[in-house]
Structure 1
Amino acid sequence: MAENDIDVNELGEKIVRVLKTIYDPEIPVDIYELGLIYDVFVNEDRDVKILMTLTTPNCPVAESLPQEVQEKVKMIEMINDVDLELTFDPPWSQDLMSEEAKLALGML
Structure 2
Amino acid sequence: MSMIDWLRKAEAHEDRPEPDLDTLEGRVIEALRTVYDPEIPVNIYDLGLVYSLSVDEAAGKVGIRMTLTAPGCPVAQAFPGVVEGAVMEVSGVDEAEVELVWDPPWSRERMSEAARLALGLL
Q: Work out whether the TM-score is over 0.5.
A: yes
Task: State the Cα distance separating 1:64 from its structure 2 match.
Answer: 2.2
Q: Give the match's secondary structure for 1:33.
A: coil
Q: Deviations over 1:53-100 (max 9, x none)?
A: 110111121122211000110111211100111111111001100111
The farther-off stretch of 10-19 and 75-84 is 75-84
For structure 2, the 5+ residue unaligned runs are: 1-21
2:87 maps to which of 73, 80, 87: 73
- Where does residue 28 of structure 1 map in the other structure? 41
2:27 maps to which of 14, 17, 32: 14
Task: State the Cα distance separating 1:51 from its structure 2 match.
Answer: 0.7
Q: TM-score if structure 1 supplies the norm length? A: 0.88
* 1:42 matched to 2:28: no
Q: Percent identity?
A: 47
1:100 maps to which of 110, 114, 120: 114
Q: TM-score if structure 2 supplies the norm length? A: 0.78
Instruction: Output the CA distance in 2 between the equivalents of 1:72 and 1:27.
Output: 18
Instruction: Output the CA distance in 2 between the equivalents of 1:23 and 1:51.
Output: 16
For structure 1, the 5+ residue unaligned runs are: 1-8
- Where does residue 4 of structure 1 map in the other structure? none
Instruction: Output the CA distance in 2 between the equivalents of 1:16 and 1:77.
Output: 13
- The structure that has the greater radius of gyration is 1
Q: Give the match's secondary structure for 2:23.
A: helix
Q: Deviations over 1:16-53 (max 9, x none)?
A: 00000110111111111100001110123111100101
